[in-house]
Amino acid sequence: MIIYLNGEFVPEERAVVSVFDHGLLYGDGVFEGIRAYHGRVFKLGDHLDRLYDGARAIALEIPVAKEEMQEIVLETLRRNDLRDAYIRLVVTRGVGDLGLDPRKCPKAFVFCIAASITLYPEELYEKGLSVITVATRRNIPTACIPRVKSLNYLNNIYAKIEAARSGAPEAIMLNQEGYVAEATGDNIFLVKKGALITPALHVGLLEGITRNTVMDLARERNIQVEEKVFTLYDVYTADEVFLTGTAAEIIPTVQVDGRLIGDGQPGPMTRELRTAFHELTKVDGPLIYQEKAECGCCAK
């Protein structure tokens, strides 16, 4: 595996980060998980916008222009001869001292990994997930802004530990007021009486790229889309529930806290949006490899 490491491409065994890097010491930095499908990097522009917005929110200056960052992602895929992949793009605060002060870190550190990922087995996409609600509440926006995809994921990890110890593959997190926020690594959607419903951003959640894509796909199909606050009652009584994320894509959820959702099978809107999503991945995003047009002599 070839890794982009702060200005050069190196073998995996040489891809190392300093023990004084504040991304390691304090979770100080931002990242993106990105997918490549069919030789294209899906929604790369949206991912880069979120990366740079998150960095701005935490006063982190990324030492690479956005256009150059796009080329870094594409070249990492080329160096690993990949057309379908999961990409992890990370920007840390960089090397500093053992104190908290980010001003002691003169320059941010950038690395990019391209590999494969399988979050859930295919069987769960056909039959659906069974998830639980956990006691761990989502970070409040005035403490640690959930809309920043930061390297500090301990809030999500606490919830994931609860889910794992209960034998559940994923968990729903509530905010401090008891409203549904998101899952540990995914956004959540409900379907009720033909409308598609997802938590409003101010509830406290990450604004997912797949989340926004799904809402766009629904609107194109004249499906009513609502972003609003709701409780577990609304989840339990929904006609359909599904989760969305870059790694998970769109995965149906058929049981929550032991309660069957609808008839306990993935619903028709979930299936329709999954199909539309997969079709979009074939045409959206910059090409990794620029295809050469076939000339007349080559065709002979």
Residue type, 57: A
Active-site annotation holder among 66, 104, 149, 292: 149
Segment holding 197, helix H or strand E:
strand 195-198
Closest of 114, 139, 107, 142 to residue 29, by C-alpha:
107
Question: Is 149 an annotated catalytic residue?
Answer: yes
CB 102 within 8 A of CB 59: yes
Closest of 218, 283, 209, 205 to residue 245, by C-alpha:
209
In angstroms and rounded to an integer, the radius of gyration of the C-alpha atoms of the chain is 20
CB 172 within 8 A of CB 133: yes
3-state secondary structure of 269: helix
Separation of alpha carbons 114 and 92, rounded Å: 18
67-100: burial string, b at 16+ Cβ within 10 Å, e else:
eebbebbbbbbbeeebeebbbbbbbbbbbbeeee
φ/ψ of 259, rounded to 5, equals -100, 130
Separation of alpha carbons 55 and 72, rounded Å: 18
Active site residues: 149
